[in-house]
Amino acid sequence: METGSGRVVLVGAPLGNVGDASTRLRDVLASADVVAAEDTRRLARLARDLDVTVAGRVVSYFEGNEERRTPDLVDALRGGAVVAVVTDGGMPSVSDPGYRLVRAALEAGFGVTAVPGPSAVTTALALSGLPSDRFVFEGFLPRSGSARRARLRELAAEPRTLVLFEAPHRIGDALADLVGAFGADRPAAICRELTKTYEEVRRGTLAELADRAAADPPRGEITLVVGGAPVIVAARPDDDELRAAVARREAGGVSRRDAITAVAEEYGLRKREVYALVHAP
């Protein structure tokens, strides 16, 4: 329940091309009482490129001071301030500063809204050429090799497309570990410098991308998209076994419709085929 007029506005900033800035982004930067910026110099450059005057108080808000500065921003909310959060690019709180303030504002009863904008996650996913109907965003992998390899082993069987952020100086090691955990032939794409002058998308198998990265290391901001693990479909049982599989799920408390859907997905069948078997006279 909201208790005051103060509110947080998460501002989706351009990833690189200033032409992607929305009218609402301009309006919020110009009117917010406080602008919490991941990099105040980049904010100043963005405002200059947009011909916007930031009239409110500008404070730095990045990983190193986020925890310490959040209480001050909540105090500003109590005074009725509109606090805009802007990162170097993309949506705040998605692997960027903002999450702590969102939680603190909500717990204190203040509203949180967003000015939608560019996202490296969905942009890379769309450009990758890999399945995009279902995906998992994993953020940055652990920095240490042993921790990274352990996390990749946990993700190896994930059937959904995987989206990761990675630093240029670690991309070679990350790709080598991905080959080890996921196999050489898993399809993937390295998307770098999205919307910027030197935007590039490298597509291929993990092994091909690892070899190319070793010979020509990608530079700039990198989003890595990896195809999901192949789904192994069980052999189709006979009709009586299919009916029994649906019945077992129903006995466990699952609705008939959901039981039919689950059995159809397990065996790679059409739902109407399983439905017809279950409802056959």
For residue 223, give the nearest of 130, 156, 155 by alpha carbon: 130
Provide the pLDDT for residue 5: 83
Query: Which of 180, 169, 153, 158 has the alpha carbon at shortest distance from 225?
Result: 158
Give the pLDDT of residue 236: 83
- What pLDDT is attached to residue 3? 54
Using the 8-state DSSP alphabet, how is residue 116 labeled? -
State how far the Cα of 115 lies from the Cα of 8, in Å rounded to an integer: 11
How far is it, in rounded angstroms, from Cα 229 to Cα 70? 40
- Whole-number Å distance between alpha carbons of 269 and 246: 13
User: Is CATH 3.40.1010.10 the right assignment for the domain spanning 7-118?
Assistant: yes
Q: What is the residue-wise DSSP string for 74-112? A: HHHHHTT-EEEEE-SSB-TTSSSTTHHHHHHHHHTT-EE
Which whole number is the average pLDDT over 119-140? 96
Query: Strand, helix or coil at 223?
Result: strand
Give the pLDDT score at 95. 86
pLDDT of residue 217: 95
Residue 258, classed as helix, strand or coil, is helix
* Dist CA 120 CA 217 (whole Å): 20
Element (H or E) spanning 161, and its range? Answer: strand 161-166
Average confidence (pLDDT) over 245-249: 92
Report pLDDT for 280.
84
Asked if residue 231 has pLDDT above 90, the reply is no
CA distance 280 to 121: 46
What is the second-level CATH architecture of the domain 121-226?
A: 2-Layer Sandwich (3.30)
Query: What residue spans define the domains of the chain?
Result: 7-118, 121-226, 239-278
Measured N-to-C along each axis, helices 66-78 and 99-107 cross at an angle, to the nearest 10 degrees, of 40
